[in-house]
Amino acid sequence: MSDPSSTPVQPRNPLHGITLERMVTELSSHYGWENLGQRIPVRCFAHDPSVASSLKFLRKTPWAREKVEGLYLFMLRELRRRSAGTMPP
């Protein structure tokens, strides 16, 4: 039997279990690097973008990571609305 306090359960946190790498990868696939760089104007998205360079920057820059997390949540809501048929493509 495992100790329940060792693994905090966050049922209401939509980012629980989602890595920063997954967020950046899905955002770049969904929006494209150019659009991502327009939505979050940071150099790692706008100039010679890559997942690796983005992760390096975002891990050191809390305000930029918060913007990425916010955009990721927005993208998830947008995708859910589209799949529910309540939003035009």
Structural domain boundaries of the chain? 18-84
The pLDDT of residue 18 is 92
Residue 43 tokens read as 């150099």
Q: For 18-84, CATH number?
A: 1.10.720.30
Axis crossing angle, helix 62-84 with helix 51-60, rounded to the nearest 10 = 120
Pairwise CA distance, residues 88 & 53, whole Å? 34
Pairwise CA distance, residues 67 & 83, whole Å? 24
Q: What is the pTM of this model?
A: 0.80
> Tell me: the pLDDT tens digits for 41-80?
999 999 999 999 999 999 999 999 999 999 999 999 999 8
**Predicted confidence band of residue 85 (pLDDT cuts 50, 70, 90):** confident
